[in-house]
Amino acid sequence: MLNKGCTEEDLFSFLSRKKQEDLDHAFILSSMCTPPHPVAVRAHNLFMETNLGDPGLFPGTASLEKLLIERFGTLFHHKEAGGYATSGGTESNLQALRLAKVLKHVKNPNAVVPESAHFSFKKACDILCIEQRCVPLDKDWRMDTALAAEQIDKNTICLVGVAGTTEYGMVDPIADLSRIALQQDVFLHVDAAFGGMVVPFLPRKLPFDFALPGVTTIAVDPHKMGMSTIPAGCLLTREPDMLSALNIDTPYLSVKQEFTLAGTRPGAPIAGALAVLDYLGVEGMKAVVSGCMKNTERLIAGMETFGIPRAATPDVNVATFNCTKVPERWKVSWTRQCHLRIVCMPHVHRDQIEAFLRDIGDLNA
């Protein structure tokens, strides 16, 4: 720490220089986050100092969190769903497994997850001492449900399906998983961290939510396709009061117990997340998602004209290719199977897709 503070001018010129070292979003094609919507920024700034670690001090902000959960419950066909705002998909997935572990009371618990599951499940299983059983995918990069059913035994506490996989943008056959979960009496957690803000707005209906009776919990991240400020995730539970199973006593706070993972929790991104949902509404979100899907389709079609085939036909806006080289100025990513991966987020406009395709054309000329 500096012994004597610096001037505000020096401080902010230093911070601005550091900010300039960050990459320009115009070239970021690999991220599942996107610059926040202006209404999210405005709402975030209004609630900057709020702390939902002590909700009794911020009853207005706490009521926004309730509203956010109610909005997602309604969107996911279960208005009465319980839940809370997390820091993102990692925390939601961890808390979902923690809930399954506490409520299922099994000595050596295991969770059955698809090979495509996000690495947060590995962290969660490590922390919670749960055995992670990985299920292979079918030829379309979706969880093989027959193999999933085979992996379940008396120690299985939770089956996991993904709605919008991180690498290939696929939605697992959640309706089949729901049937299996009910038959075998295990929880079904749906990781819709990415797809939860895409699938409900697609013209094609892909069942993944509480309309399926076997779905116990759902993770959805407003800080991804919900265009909120970071960090904003949500964990939803079918039973409104389910999370109270995780309650621990909290002396010296305005509430006597809490079930959240974090203590101090920012209210600002919750206000940001709710602001975007209410400002855009279903129609606005459909327009955003439709734009992202059209760009994904255009990218796939364009790449194929250069003889670069798709690796998958995605359900959501993640495009993957059998391609080994990309011009350097673009920030792309690569899957574990070494496929080129591009996420067509709201900041990836049509102009960028066309510029990227031109560069790919030049590289392959």
Residue number, 54 or 233, with CB nearest to ligand PLP: 233
Q: Count of CB atoms within 10 A of residue 183's CB?
A: 11
Bridge partner list, 225: none
Residue 329 Rama label (left phi>0; alpha psi -120 to 50; beta): alpha
- What residue ranges bind ligand PLP (CB under 6 A)? 32, 88-90, 93, 118, 120, 162, 166, 191, 193-194, 221, 233
Among residues 343, 241, 336, 326, the alpha carbon closest in space to that of 29 is found at 343
Residue number, 37 or 118, with CB nearest to ligand PLP: 118
Residue number, 214 or 233, with CB nearest to ligand PLP: 233
CB of 234 to ligand PLP, least distance (A): 11
Residue number, 152 or 162, with CB nearest to ligand PLP: 162
CB of 136 to ligand PLP, least distance (A): 18
CB of 194 to ligand PLP, least distance (A): 5
CB of 273 to ligand PLP, least distance (A): 13
Handedness of CA 251, 257, 262, 263 (dihedral sign): negative
Residue number, 32 or 188, with CB nearest to ligand PLP: 32
Close Cβ partners of 210 (under 8 Å, ≥ 6 residues apart): 73, 76, 77, 78, 81, 218, 236, 238
Residue number, 54 or 229, with CB nearest to ligand PLP: 229
8 Å CB contact between 218 and 196? yes
Rounded-to-integer distance, Cα 314 and Cα 297, Å? 9
CB of 164 to ligand PLP, least distance (A): 6
Q: Which residues of 305-314 are buried (b: 16+ CB within 10 A; e: fewer)?
A: eeebebbbeb
Rounded-to-integer distance, Cα 91 and Cα 302, Å? 37
Sole residue written with tokens 């299983």: 125
CB of 191 to ligand PLP, least distance (A): 5
CB of 147 to ligand PLP, least distance (A): 20
Rounded-to-integer distance, Cα 323 and Cα 305, Å? 13
Residue number, 54 or 167, with CB nearest to ligand PLP: 167
